[in-house]
Amino acid sequence: MRNNSLYFGAPVADSQGIALATRGTSEVGSNVQVVSNLIYFGAGHNHHHCFDTTGVTLANFTAFNNNLCFHAAKNGRYSVLHASLTNAKAASFDTVGLDVDPRLVAAPALSNNWSMALKPDSPAMNAGHASLSSAGDRALLARPLPADIGAREYSLSGDRLAPAAPGGMWVD
């Protein structure tokens, strides 16, 4: 799981960003990498979280770092197991993660092709994992190092259009 961008404009109860939890007989496995993901929760219900790692230990991961988890209303949790990024860091999860406003150009909408483009002063810029971030961004262009957190690499030439999402869904 690397360089994903998830946006919840008005989260409802139990909204979650990335779930890597053990459920029933399903196993997460080993050598899992969770790096350089941007998860944004707007104002909404107060029971939401960026990550669910229930039943999974740090030993399952080769990397869990450089993620940005932001709650605009300051009312969500970092994960099911950790109330805040500070708590997660104390357990060695996301030790260089961020919990600040990513400074998006605009809220994703049909009119901007569901863009999660970053402003020039975004803390997500150049904050991605140095060696495990994906080589290309959502627009299929190469990422310079250090990479940005999220699916879209900042561009001085403006927002680049990405391939259209499949009908009924969008991914950035």
What number is the average pLDDT over the span 107-115? Answer: 88
> How many whole angstroms separate alpha carbon 63 and alpha carbon 103?
25
Angle made by CA atoms 59, 64, 68, in degrees to the nearest 5? 155
Q: How much is the pLDDT for 23?
A: 65
In this structure, what DSSP letter does residue 143 have?
P
pLDDT given at position 166: 47
- pLDDT tens-digit map of 32-79: 899 999 999 988 777 889 999 888 888 889 999 999 999 998 888 999
| Nearest C-alpha neighbor of 139 from the set 122, 123, 115, 156 | 115
Q: How far apart are CA 48 and CA 36, in angstroms?
A: 20
What percent of the chain stands above pLDDT 70?
87
Backbone angles phi, psi at 168, to 5 degrees: 85, 0
Give the CA-trace dihedral at 167, 10, 8, 139, to 10 degrees.
60
Of the ranges 27-31, 63-67, 126-130, 165-169, which one carries the lowest mean pLDDT score?
Answer: 165-169
Distance CA 149, CA 164 (A): 21
Q: What is the pLDDT of residue 31?
A: 84
The H helix count followed by the E strand count for the chain is 1, 8
d(CA 152, CA 166): 18
The C-alpha atoms of residue 40 and residue 152 are separated, in whole angstroms, by 14
Is the CB of residue 3 less than 8 Å from the CB of residue 37?
yes
